[in-house]
Each structure stands twice: as structure tokens, then as C-alpha cells.
Amino acid sequence: MSRPHRPGHLREATAKAAAKARHTFRTRLSTGEKSCRKRMATLAVVHDAEPAIRRPHDIIAPPGGRTGHRTVRKGPIARAKWLTASVREDAETVIAAAFDQAEARDPEHHRNWVVLIDGATHQRELIQAEAARRNVTVHVVLDIVHVIEKLWAAARCFHTATDPATEDWVGAKAARILAGDAPGAAHDIRAEADRRHLTDDQRTAADKACRYLESNADFVHYDQALAAGWPIASGAVEGAARHLIADRLDITGSRWTVPGAEAVLTLRTVISNGDFPDYWIFHARQEHERLHPLPDQHIYALQA
């Protein structure tokens, strides 16, 4: 996710885009315009979870809603969460730190490592490269929430914004994808667009959803993930993005420098991970040594 930064603290590509930007109004952005003043923050979450086996209709309600005759099975519950985030380091460094934490929990690689992604090719390639470097098998799963958002966008090609049938359309396609038939769902979407004789512009979102499913075909085997009891949505990451980053760095009117934003993120992750008491003892010891240097101070320990 991206945060507003001061001039001179943007990444090179963003700074170039900001220099070239021409805005319609002086005091605000018009529709579709971007300020080009944000710097991307990279966030990773590592947690443990007991497997929780489910079926597609535990995730998506069948058309017409649930009858209430069957109890919905809950998904895996995240525990022992560990967070890391940075606006200074690149995604490769943050991903490596997450793998360090996972390896500390499972040094012999005996457990199932499940990695949830949002579909970004660069992110996926970095994860796969890091796994190969450490010789660990990871099960990469595309976050189902991103898939459903693509389906809702595709539904607008066939239904109006207020058509109640939209929900059933999305639910039927999502249930089919959850059952392991993403290719069939993509084929049906394209066939419907052909049958309605939609123009290229009218079917843009539908074709985009199909390409999204096809380009991530290896990571949408939700039937296997549900049967194994794995998580299929990155709720832990989305929640962390809100309380770790957005609640502090996204306050109204804020403009951050890289060192300032990085310091705030580091402190908030230390607190979230429960490491602040140990950090504060270390910090106090370092400050004591800085303020009161002695030739033989290495033989003393601060008791506080």
C-alpha cells in the first residue's frame, strides 16, 4: 500500500511521474488524476494456524442465501502473528525477512508453508525465488478476495449496478472457482459476453477477470486448499495494513520523509510483535553507553 511522502522522498519512477503530471485544477485532482506523491510500503505477516477443512459453500453462500440447516465451517484462525513493514527497503528484503521468521519457526521445513498473494507477478516471482534459495516448498494461493473483486467488476458488464441478480451471478462463478473449475468459469464469462454481442469496451472488465484467472491458473486450486484446511484469504495482512500503516501514516495532511516513516513503521511493528519491552531495555542500555562512555564500561550491565 502507498503513503503520501514529501518531495525528494519518492522512488525514482514515482518522482518522474510527478514531474510530468499535468493537472486540470490547481487545488484538487479531477476524475482519474493521481497526485504521484505516494511511496509504496511493503508489508508481510507470518502466523501459525491449525488446518480447518471447508467446502465452497462455507465460503460463498449458494444462490438465494443460506437455509440455516447446516453450520458454516470456520476457516483457520491466525495465531502468533509476526509483522514486518518498510517504506525504505524493497519488496525482496521484506519477503526475505518474512522467510527468516518462518524458518525460525520451522527450521527443518516439516510444516506446510502457505503463502497468500494478490496476483502481482513481481511479488510472486520474489516469493518463489526466495523459496528456491532456501530449498523450501511453499504452497502459493491467490487471495480469493481479489478474485471476487474481479468477478464483481466483470458482473457490471452483464448487470446494472442495482440489479439483485448481480449477487447470484458473482456467487455462482465464485462457487465454481472454489470448487476447482476456474477455467470453466472463465470460459462461461467469455461465452456470455459473446452471446450478448458486447463490444470490446463493454466487455473490458469481463476479459480482464478471465485473464486474471488464466495468468494465475497455478494458484487458484481452491478445492485442494480447502480440502487441506489452508487459508485462502489474506485477512491478517489486510488487518495489519490498516492498524499498522494506515491508522498512523495515512492521517489527514501528513507528508512523510523516508527516515521518519520508516522509524514509525519499525516502532509500530516492534509493539505489535510484543517485542517493545525487550527493545526498550536494549535502547536504554545503548543510550546509557552513549551518554556515559567509560574505557571499561563493557564490564558493567544496566540493571533497570
Q: Which of 43-47, 211-215, 298-302 has the lowest mean pLDDT?
A: 298-302
Q: What is the pLDDT of residue 299?
A: 61
Q: Which neighbouring-strand residues pair with 141?
A: 116
Between CA 225 and CA 55 the distance in angstroms is 10
Which residues, 6 or more positions from 72, have their beta carbon under 8 angstroms from its beta carbon? 58, 66
Q: At how many degrees (to 10) do helices 121-134 and 91-105 cross? A: 40
Q: C-alpha angle 104/2/36, rounded to 5°?
A: 150
Between CA 268 and CA 274 the distance in angstroms is 10
Three-state SS letters, the chain: CEEEECCCCCCHHHHHHHHHCCCCCCCCCCCCCCCCCEEECEEEEEEECCCCCCCHHHHCCCCCCCCCCCCCCCCCCCEEEEEEEECCCCHHHHHHHHHHHHHHHCCCCCCCEEEEECCCHHHHHHHHHHHHHHCCCEEEEECHHHHHHHHHHHHCCCCCCCCCHHHHHHHHHHHHHHCCCHHHHHHHHHHHHHHCCCCCCCCHHHHHHHHHHHHCHHHCCHHHHHHHCCCCCCHHHHHHHHHHHHHHHCCCCCCECHHHHHHHHHHHHHHHCCCHHHHHHHHHHHHHHHHCCCCCHHHCCCCC
In this predicted structure, the answer to whether residue 22 has a pLDDT above a threshold of 80 is no
Q: What is the pLDDT of residue 175?
A: 94
Between CA 151 and CA 35 the distance in angstroms is 29
Q: What is the pLDDT of residue 303?
A: 66
User: Hey, what's the cell of 135?
Assistant: 530449498
Q: What is the pLDDT of residue 6?
A: 47
24-57 pLDDT, tens digit per residue, is 655 564 555 455 456 788 899 999 999 999 999 9
86-121 pLDDT, tens digit per residue, is 998 999 999 999 999 999 999 999 999 999 998 889
In this predicted structure, the answer to whether residue 59 has a pLDDT above a threshold of 60 is yes
In this predicted structure, the answer to whether residue 83 has a pLDDT above a threshold of 90 is yes
4-18 pLDDT, tens digit per residue, is 554 554 455 555 554
